[in-house]
């Protein structure tokens, strides 16, 4: 740049000691940059790029969970960890960069789900439970399958599912009663009701109890995946169009 003079390197072409000149610059409090250390520049840039990639993957996963998004997040996390380790290793061993840049610590991220979401399935029809398991594995982790409503509150407290898929008409107590008990117990699990009942009274009652979704069993194969994705992303879903 104009107005600035570069230090002359005595003996250019005869093995001048560039490191001594750089250390002299530092002693004179002149600004340091990684143009003096190409490897340091590459390491820092790789770390920053990986951190941005991790943040993007984290935000995408928080907005809408998917198996592909989860895999992208895990790959981005691995890349960011490796880039950070390489940067810190360089800082510890490079005399030029050691004092110019601090060692970094891993960024704190919260993807919402660091593993596949867990789902508790509740239906008094064993055939329906088998269909649900076949549909949802291995994309989601099935915490358990239950055939009666009385065990749901206890199992939800023990298994900590992210989502409960709950039949409205169970053999012992209704799914609506189960939802009331879960609410009284302070369960944080989201609820999607499955039902043969397709009228607005049932749908309204379900959402009135705090459910996040209501899927008709007649539309199970077309609606359930969309319902789960919407609910795990913080939204709601109903088979009524």
- The per-residue pLDDT for range 66-102, each reduced to its tens digit, is 777 778 888 888 888 888 888 788 878 887 777 666 6
Q: Which two tokens stand for residue 218?
A: 């007649």
pLDDT at 65 exceeding the cut of 80: no
Average pLDDT value for residue range 152-165: 94
Exposed / middle / buried, residue 101 (Cβ in 10 Å: 0-12, 13-18, 19+): middle
Strand partners, 165: 121, 192
Considering the entire predicted model, what is its pTM? Answer: 0.57
Question: Among 20-34, 64-78, 185-199, which stretch is predicted with the lowest mean pLDDT?
Answer: 20-34
pLDDT higher at 4 or 182: 182
| Distance set, CA 127 to CA 7, 124, 134, 147 (Å) | 81, 9, 11, 11
pLDDT higher at 83 or 181: 181
Mean pLDDT rounded to a whole number for the chain: 79
Q: Is 204 helix (H, G, I), strand (E, B) or coil?
A: helix
Task: Classify residue 125 as left (phi > 0), alpha (psi -120 to 50) or beta.
Answer: beta
Q: Hunting for tokens 């298994």 — which residue is that?
A: 159
Alpha helices in the chain (DSSP H): 18-27, 38-63, 67-93, 126-136, 152-159, 175-184, 200-208, 220-232
- Return the percentage of the chain with pLDDT > 70, whole number: 75
With residue 165 as reference, give the H or E element that holds it. Answer: strand 163-167
Q: Each residue of 148-157: pLDDT tens digit?
A: 999 999 999 9
pLDDT in the model for residue 51: 80
Q: Each residue of 103-143: pLDDT tens digit?
A: 655 555 444 444 678 999 999 999 999 999 999 987 888 99
- Phi, psi (degrees; rounded to nearest 5) at 161: -70, 155
Question: Among 52-56, 117-121, 150-154, 185-189, which stretch is predicted with the lowest mean pLDDT?
Answer: 52-56
pLDDT at 212 exceeding the cut of 70: yes
């Amino acid at each position: 740049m104009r107005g600035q003079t570069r230090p002359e390197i005595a003996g250019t072409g005869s093995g001048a000691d560039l490191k001594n000149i750089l250390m002299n610059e530092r002693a004179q409090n002149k600004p340091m940059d990684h143009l003096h250390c190409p490897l340091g520049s590459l390491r820092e840039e790789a770390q920053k790029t990986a951190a941005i990639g991790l943040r993007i993957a984290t935000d995408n996963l928080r907005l809408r969970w998917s198996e592909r998004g989860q895999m992208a997040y895990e790959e981005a996390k691995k890349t960011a960890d490796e880039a950070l380790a390489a940067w810190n290793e360089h800082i510890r061993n490079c005399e030029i960069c050691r004092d110019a840049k601090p060692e970094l610590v891993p960024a704190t991220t919260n993807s919402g789900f660091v593993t596949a979401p867990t789902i508790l399935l509740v239906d008094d029809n064993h055939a329906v439970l088998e269909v649900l398991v076949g549909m949802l594995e291995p994309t989601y982790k099935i915490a358990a399958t239950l055939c009666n409503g009385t065990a749901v509150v206890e199992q939800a407290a023990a298994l900590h599912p992210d989502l409960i898929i709950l039949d409205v008409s169970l053999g012992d107590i209704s799914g609506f009663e189960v939802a009331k008990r879960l609410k009284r117990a302070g369960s944080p699990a989201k609820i999607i009701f499955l039902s043969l009942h397709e009228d607005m009274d049932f749908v309204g009652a379900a959402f009135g109890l705090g459910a996040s979704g209501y899927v008709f069993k007649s539309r199970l194969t077309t609606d359930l995946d969309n319902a789960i994705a919407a609910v795990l992303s913080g939204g709601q879903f109903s088979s009524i169009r």
